[in-house]
């Protein structure tokens, strides 16, 4: 989302090592409709193509229509060295004064491109398709360079990074949009890119029968929705595996409900398409299709940033066709999904960046809850309070500490971000929007006879999006609290899932760390055969659903400031100490009971399934 996008832009683009490119053997590929010349990366022994067009520009009369195949252009070889133009950006509310309109918002509607990172000798290699996050309003392919990640996994697979329409351009919805175009245009773009992979990935040495789709935040939510696409009737026609990291599930209204319709009419008003003359001569939809792109881009961002705190105005809807049900219905009640394998995760502190940090009393908590979920009734609010209200013996002087998940105090009442009613709201939003969707996905895949694995990223500050930087950077960046052992482990866990269909690390992979300075690292829980399948029946001290908790121990505590949404956040981290007597920073993994985790998270997720019709999830 916006924080993750900005943080990634700051951190991920910092090279961790010198990278060299060949000027002699740069590869050329022929896609039938066009030829592209990429670049050979000698450091990673990869052919890299950036900015390959997968659809025709969705402009003019193609706004809010299904994506179309690119026009044939074989007159010359197209350079595929530079990153493609980003799609127009729309950010979350409230407005951020640090966002510059020209550099941070404006984009190009002609943005349906993708990047490919392929080993130079790839032959029938499995494929990872990455869908970026950003609240369905922000983000681009530029931020996600997979060259190092693929190389960490011995160049055993190909990575494809796609772009899709964002904000009002990708997720405008109303009855008129459904009549004259398509809601969820951005999801259709993703699916069209997957069809492109099926048709063309063999040219790069990829195997179209071994595709895994992956994403974080809205990207994780996107792969969740693609897993639900067309009622879960597509099987493995487009992908086999799904990796959903912090799958983002905002309220999912029906395409013609009042909230998406209000955003539609607000866009029309800002664009000058809601006038008496317009109503009598041309439809609002037709007017919007002919409106200048800069007007629409500014309007989309304005509407999004002046909406509900922490939210985006334009997000996926239930359209009765591509997305036929709310996730609680299709995943938790009557499981039906595409794909056969799942790896899913959440972070310890997902909620704070999306919740106003001004909640001090039960009244504040209930006011925020009614605003966020306006369909909740007095009786359903009572049910919520029975699960999320503070215990009678709660001590408001408790320290701001992160939960260990196993023993009180739990994240229901305290974290490094807040305590009391503030933390109750932080945790509630985290569970409804990121954590429980991860549980429901794992439940759905397991219930259908598929395989599912789950983990939690708990390395402080364990905020939303904090797991992406180590996932892409293997070499430790100075001043961060994740050593190279855990970075490599995270990357190999994902790589193992893509290549082998199982995230567990082999004994040979574990042996790579023997003799390292981080001799106290404990990676036992992520070993092959140790990491339990979801619903695998752990027995003993564990419940029915086991997951891996990934964390670090040791180091020296530091507090760093991060500004977001007009607030200064103090983020607690643990970094390597400078003294010989400082405890070393070491990776720690353990198998835990996901059902009893955080004082009974499973029961709270069951509550939200029951309240699905009231929270529109």
For every residue of 44-75, DSSP letters joined together read: TTEEEEEEEE-S----GGGTTS---PPPPEEE
pLDDT of 276 reads: 66
* Under 8 Å between Cβ of 225 and 437: no
- DSSP single-letter state for residue 564: E
Q: Is the pLDDT of residue 2 over 50?
A: no
CA–CA separation, 172 vs 577, rounded Å? 50
pLDDT of 48 reads: 99
* Under 8 Å between Cβ of 31 and 200: yes
**198 membership: H or E segment, kind and range:** helix 185-200
What six digits make up the tokens of 581? 């007597």
**556 membership: H or E segment, kind and range:** strand 556-564
Q: Is the pLDDT of residue 24 over 80?
A: no
Pick the residue with more confidence: 576 or 596? 596
The superfamily in CATH containing domain 2-339 is Alpha/Beta hydrolase fold, catalytic domain (3.40.50.1820)
Q: Is the pLDDT of residue 135 over 80?
A: yes
pLDDT of 537 reads: 43
Q: What is the pTM of this model?
A: 0.94
Q: Is the pLDDT of residue 111 over 90?
A: yes
Per-residue pLDDT, averaged over 436-448, amounts to: 96
CA–CA separation, 5 vs 107, rounded Å? 15
Q: Is the pLDDT of residue 475 over 50?
A: yes
Q: Is the pLDDT of residue 22 over 50?
A: no
Q: Is the pLDDT of residue 8 over 60?
A: no
Q: Which residue has the tokens 């895949």?
A: 445
pLDDT of 278 reads: 57
Per-residue pLDDT, averaged over 441-466, amounts to: 96
Residue 12 — very low, low, confident or very high, per pLDDT cuts 50/70/90? Answer: very low
Q: At what angle do helices 436-447 and 597-610 cross, to 10 degrees?
A: 80
Per-residue pLDDT, averaged over 336-343, amounts to: 98
Q: What is the pLDDT of residues 80-105, one digit of tens each?
A: 999 999 999 999 999 887 778 778 89
CA–CA separation, 321 vs 323, rounded Å? 6
What six digits make up the tokens of 476? 């430790």
Q: Is the pLDDT of residue 548 over 90?
A: yes
CA–CA separation, 102 vs 578, rounded Å? 42
CA–CA separation, 3 vs 9, rounded Å? 10
Domain ranges of the chain: 2-339, 352-615
CA–CA separation, 336 vs 338, rounded Å? 7
Share of the chain above pLDDT 70, in %: 91
Per-residue pLDDT, averaged over 374-399, amounts to: 94
pLDDT of 566 reads: 67
Share of the chain above pLDDT 90, in %: 80
CA–CA separation, 592 vs 407, rounded Å? 12
Radius of gyration of the chain (CA): 23
Per-residue pLDDT, averaged over 421-427, amounts to: 98
Per-residue pLDDT, averaged over 55-79, amounts to: 97
Pick the residue with more confidence: 341 or 12? 341
Q: Is the pLDDT of residue 227 over 50?
A: yes
By the 10 Å C-beta count (0-12 exposed, 13-18 middle, 19+ buried), 606 is classed as middle
Quickly list H helices, 208-317. Answer: 218-232, 258-270, 276-281, 284-290, 293-305
Per-residue pLDDT, averaged over 49-58, amounts to: 99
pLDDT of 517 reads: 44
N- to C-terminal Cα separation, the chain: 19
Long-range pairs, 65-71, Cβ under 8 A, ≥24: 65/181, 65/182, 65/185, 66/182, 66/185, 66/188, 66/192, 67/112, 67/185, 67/188, 67/189, 67/192, 69/33, 70/33, 70/34, 71/33
pLDDT of 21 reads: 42
* Under 8 Å between Cβ of 146 and 117: yes
Q: What is the pLDDT of residues 362-384, one digit of tens each?
A: 999 999 999 999 999 999 999 99
Q: What is the pLDDT of residues 259-308, one digit of tens each?
A: 999 999 999 999 999 986 555 557 999 999 999 999 999 999 999 999 99
CA–CA separation, 249 vs 438, rounded Å? 10
* Under 8 Å between Cβ of 297 and 341: no
Cβ-Cβ contacts under 8 Å for 478 (sequence gap 6 or more): none
What average pLDDT does the chain have? 91
Nearest residue to 312 via CA among 91, 608, 69, 38 = 91
The residues pairing with 301 across neighbouring beta strands, listed in sequence order, are none
Per-residue pLDDT, averaged over 562-571, amounts to: 75
By the 10 Å C-beta count (0-12 exposed, 13-18 middle, 19+ buried), 13 is classed as exposed
């Amino acid at each position: 989302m916006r924080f993750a996008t900005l943080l990634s832009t700051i951190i991920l683009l910092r090279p961790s090592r010198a990278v060299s490119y060949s000027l002699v053997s740069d590869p050329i590929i022929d896609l039938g409709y066009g030829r592209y010349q990429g670049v050979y990366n000698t450091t990673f022994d990869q052919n890299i193509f950036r900015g390959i067009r997968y659809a025709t520009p969705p402009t003019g009369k193609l706004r809010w229509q299904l994506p179309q195949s690119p026009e044939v252009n074989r007159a010359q070889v197209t350079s595929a060295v530079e990153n493609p133009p980003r799609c127009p950006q729309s950010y979350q509310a409230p407005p951020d004064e640090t966002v510059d309109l020209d550099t941070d918002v404006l984009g190009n509607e002609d943005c349906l491109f993708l990047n490919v990172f392929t080993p130079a000798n790839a032959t029938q290699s499995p494929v990872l398709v990455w869908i970026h996050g950003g609240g369905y309003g922000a983000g681009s392919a530029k931020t996600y360079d997979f060259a190092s990640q693929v190389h960490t996994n011995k160049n055993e697979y190909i990575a494809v990074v796609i772009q899709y329409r964002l904000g009002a351009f990708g997720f405008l919805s109303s009855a008129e949009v459904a009549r004259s175009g398509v809601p969820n245009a951005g999801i259709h773009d993703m699916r069209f890119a997957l069809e492109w992979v099926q048709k063309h990935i063999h040219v790069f040495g990829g195997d179209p029968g071994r595709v895994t789709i992956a994403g974080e935040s809205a990207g994780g939510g996107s792969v969740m929705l693609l897993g639900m696409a067309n009622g879960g009737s597509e099987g493995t026609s487009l992908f086999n595996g799904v990796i959903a990291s912090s799958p983002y599930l905002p309220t999912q209204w029906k395409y013609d409900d009042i909230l998406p319709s209000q955003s539609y009419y607000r866009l029309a008003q800002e664009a000058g398409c809601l006038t008496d003359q317009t109503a009598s001569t041309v439809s609002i939809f037709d007017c919007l299709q002919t409106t200048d792109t800069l007007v629409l881009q500014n309007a989309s961002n304005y509407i999004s940033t002046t909406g509900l705190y922490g939210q985006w105005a334009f997000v996926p809807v239930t359209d009765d066709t591509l997305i036929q049900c709310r996730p609680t219905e299709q995943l938790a009640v009557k499981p039906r999904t595409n794909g056969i394998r799942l790896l899913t995760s959440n972070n310890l502190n997902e909620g704070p960046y999306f919740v106003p940090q001004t909640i001090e009393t039960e009244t504040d908590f209930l006011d925020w809850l009614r605003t966020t979920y306006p369909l909740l009734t007095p009786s359903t609010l009572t049910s919520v309070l029975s699960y999320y209200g503070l215990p009678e013996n709660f001590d408001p002087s408790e320290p701001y500490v992160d939960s260990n998940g196993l023993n009180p105090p739990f994240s229901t009442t305290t974290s490094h971000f807040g305590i009391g009613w503030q933390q109750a709201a932080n945790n509630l939003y985290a569970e409804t929007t990121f954590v429980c969707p991860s549980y429901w996905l794992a439940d759905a895949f397991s219930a259908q006879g598929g395989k599912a694995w789950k983990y939690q990223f708990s390395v402080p500050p364990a905020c939303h999006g904090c797991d992406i930087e180590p996932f892409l950077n293997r070499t430790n960046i100075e001043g961060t609290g994740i050593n190279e052992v855990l970075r490599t482990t995270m990357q190999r866990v994902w790589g193992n899932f893509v290549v082998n269909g199982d995230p567990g690390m082999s004994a040979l992979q574990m042996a790579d760390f023997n003799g390292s300075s981080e001799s106290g690292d404990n990676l036992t829980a992520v070993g092959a055969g140790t990491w339990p399948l979801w619903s695998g029946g752990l027995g003993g001290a564990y419940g029915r659903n086991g997951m891996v908790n990934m964390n670090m121990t040791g180091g020296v505590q530091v507090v760093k400031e991060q500004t977001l949404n007009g607030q200064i956040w103090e983020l607690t981290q643990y970094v390597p100490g400078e003294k010989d007597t400082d405890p070393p920073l070491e990776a720690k993994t353990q198998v835990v009971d996901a059902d009893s985790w955080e004082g009974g998270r499973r029961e709270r997720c069951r509550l939200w399934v029951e309240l699905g019709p009231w929270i529109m999830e």
